[in-house]
Structure 1
Amino acid sequence: MHKDWKAMAGELSGAIKEVRLGSPDVMKAFSAMAQAATAGGAVDAKTKELIAIAIAVAIRCDGCVAFHAQAAAKLGATREEIMEVMGMALYMG
């Protein structure tokens, strides 16, 4: 089965914008939590995005997979790294 992951990530971003307009206080808090969780620290931001991909695969959230794979790629994750993480998530999930 082939999915358009880029389109899926774009759709999710659009949906998040709609929720931001409807519930601005909730989304402000969600965005603050996301920024704090994804910031580099003892674990770098790329690795955190790879972890997010694994969780997304395990919970079967296609939009989350697309969103976090795109974010990981922007942070320098290779296709091989992303696929290896997805394989591990499938194994563990």
Structure 2
Amino acid sequence: MSDLYNGTENRKFGRIYKKETPDILEAFVAFDNAVFAEEGRAIPLKFRELMALSVAFTTQCSFCIDAHTKGAVKAGATDAEIAEAAWIAAALRAGGAFTHGRMALQVSSTLDHEH
């Protein structure tokens, strides 16, 4: 899917949102702007951008990784902080596999293992 990520080409398709669902696009942009406002939030912008970056690594959204890396750096994030955000995402993804493995073992325990 990341092969579809081309900022210039992609903007052309983004215009469809503006044409077909302008009210929803406007609401989304206002929401996003409120979430990432420089001032007026309890969590400083740098930390919100790093949180967004961890989520972007987890969801593997190329657009979000690009935008929130830029936002994090602009808000003062260092390479070390960006690296730690990536490790946080990796730990959570690994933790998800671990806990889902426990669920599989729970299901397995209810099954007859005789062949």
TM-score for both structures, normalised by structure 1? 0.75
* Same amino acid, percent of matched pairs: 30
Unmatched 5+ residue regions in structure 2?
94-115
Q: Which amino acid letter does the alignment assign opposite residue 55 of structure 2?
A: I
User: For the pair shown, which has the larger CA radius of gyration, 1 or 2?
Assistant: 2
Counterpart mapping for 1:3-22 below 5 A? 10-11=7-8, 14=11, 17-18=14-15, 19-22=17-20
Query: Which has the higher relative contact order, 1 or 2, with Cα contacts under 8 A spaced 6 or more apart?
Result: 1
* Contact map agreement 1:12 1:63 (CA 8 A) in 2: no
Structure 1 outlier segments of 4+, above 4 Å: none
TM-score scaled by length of structure 2: 0.63
Equivalences for residues 14-93 of structure 1 within 5 A: 14=11, 17-18=14-15, 19-39=17-37, 40=39, 41-93=41-93
Q: Greater CA deviation, 42-51 or 14-23?
A: 14-23
Runs of 5+ unmatched residues, structure 1: none
Q: CA separation of 1:53/1:13 partners in 2, compared to 1, >3 Å: closer, same or farther? A: farther
In structure 2, do the counterparts of structure 1 residues 74 and 22 end up closer, same or farther at CA, with 3 Å as the change threshold?
A: farther
- RMSD (Å), alpha carbons: 2.5
1:53-91 deviation line (CA, Å, top 9, x unaligned): 011111121221111111111111111111111111111
1:7-64 Cα offsets, whole Å, 9 max, x none, are x584597268523344321111001111111224210111101100011111121221
